Amino acid sequence: MATRTILKKGDPSLKKVSREVKDFNERLHRLLDDMRETLDKASGVGLAAPQVGVLRRAFIVIDYSGEEPKLMEFINPEIVETEGEQIGPEGCLSLPNIWGIVTRPERVKIKAQDRYGAYFEAEGCGLTARAFCHELDHLQGVLFDEIADRFLTEEELESLRESEKND
Ligand code: CO
């Protein structure tokens, strides 16, 4: 495994629509393993392939809703069901130090393929549902700052950091 460079806003790759994954081979597995290591190092919640310059429909999310954090991999993902609404802060490894208020569904069900090509469905609520939507947006070339209702002020950012420390 190796870490890859996370592209920052302004890089044209982040604006492109990613293509379907057709080969579930060693190359894909290496990409996913590298993305995992890159996400670990960056302490993020999710990472999409275009963020490391690979324009393929794949992303990973760490689900923190259970007792242990669980890494989930999604290839060729599609939202099949959504429910409710959440309005809350959202950030992105490609837009460091910017946080925005983004409206997302409260619960999201996704159909996708795993790294071997097998289809599965997975559901996420709260932060995990938010991450699913955020990463799917990356595959369409959309960054959260384009859909944010507004951005957090320095003060709000400070209190968000404080509340995270206390979690
Ligand atoms: Co992002």
Domain ranges of the chain: 12-166
CB contact set of 130 (below 8 Å; sequence gap of 6+): 86, 88, 90, 102, 104
Instruction: Say how many Å lie between the CA of residue 120 and the centre of ligand 1.
Output: 23
Map tokens 């920052």 to a residue. 8
The answer, yes or no, to whether residue 40 has pLDDT greater than 80, is yes
Radius of gyration of the chain (CA): 15
User: Would the pLDDT of 57 be above 80?
Assistant: yes
Bridge partners for 125 per DSSP: 107
Active site residues: 135
The CA distance from 162 to 167, in Å, is 9
Ligand 1 center to residue 46 CA distance, Å? Answer: 7
CATH topology of domain 12-166: Peptide Deformylase (3.90.45)
Average pLDDT estimate for 34-56: 97
pLDDT, tens digit, for every residue of 2-25?
999 999 999 999 999 999 999 999
Question: Which pLDDT belongs to residue 160?
Answer: 82
Residue 144 Cα to ligand 1 middle (Å): 7
The predicted structure's pLDDT at residue 159: 87
Helix (H, G, I), strand (E, B) or coil at 87: strand
Per-residue buried b or exposed e for 15-54, using 16+ beta carbons within 10 Å of the residue's own CB: eeebeebeeeeeebeebbebbbebbeeeebbbbbbbbbeb
pLDDT digits (tens, 9 = 90+) for 58-99: 999 999 999 999 999 999 999 999 999 999 999 999 999 899
Residues in the chain: 167
Residue 167 has a pLDDT of 58
* pLDDT above 80: residue 166: no
Q: Three-state SS for 77?
A: strand
Q: How far apart are CA 98 and CA 90, in angstroms?
A: 9
